[in-house]
Amino acid sequence: MRADARKNYDLLLSAAREVVAEQGADASLRDVARRAAVGLGTLYRHFATREALLDALLRACFDELTVLAGELERADAADAALVSWLREAVTVARNYRGVTEAMMAAIADPQSALHESCVTMRAAGTALLSRAQSLNLARPDMDGTELFALVGALAWLGDQPSLAPRADHLFDIIAGAILVDRSGVPAGQGG
């Protein structure tokens, strides 16, 4: 990529990060171009669709979540690692209001520009879930697809004005339902 094209690409991503954080996943592409101080044509040369722009924006975040999962898998207790990763994944999804719908659609559509990044992120979370399950620390009747769905659900809850103040508490409830105590009973449901 030529130096000026690379500069425009970087400006567009930086502007998109800000605009999408402010306006959500349906942010105005015109606003992104304006904030980057480039023409709309330049934006479309780099990102043919809104989904392509979101993919570029989110790919770095999802890659970081994948790296984090690998680090947590080696360094932390399996249950703590799973909850840490889940919390970070929810934070990433909440940073870009409205992206949850795009993530859920992309995971089901192999043609989607977001598909590969979502699949990789889900696989990273699934590995942490499987590790916790193998040690009897997470409920065995759950899979990576359900964990991915919970990321989306928890991010959505945090985006609701009436629930946002309770988002951390709701996260703790869901995390507690995923984990089991050492006897294999869901946390908080022991006899």
Mean pLDDT of 146-167: 90
pLDDT of residue 191: 44
Lowest-confidence region among 7-11, 18-22, 38-42: 18-22
Q: Is the per-residue pLDDT at 45 higher than 90?
A: yes
Least confident of 15-19, 72-76, 168-172: 72-76
Residue 138's beta-bridge partner residues? Answer: 179
Structure tokens given for 12: 């567009």
At 69 the pLDDT is: 94
Per-residue pLDDT, 7: 93
Cα(105)–Cα(115) distance, rounded to whole angstroms?
Answer: 9
Residue 22: its pLDDT value, please? 87
Mean pLDDT of 117-121: 87
Q: Chain-centre distance of CA 97, in angstroms?
A: 11
Q: What are the chain's domains?
A: 1-48 (1.10.10.60), 55-178 (1.10.357.10)
Confidence check: pLDDT of 115 > 90:
no
- Per-residue model confidence as pLDDT tens digits over 95-109: 877 778 778 888 889
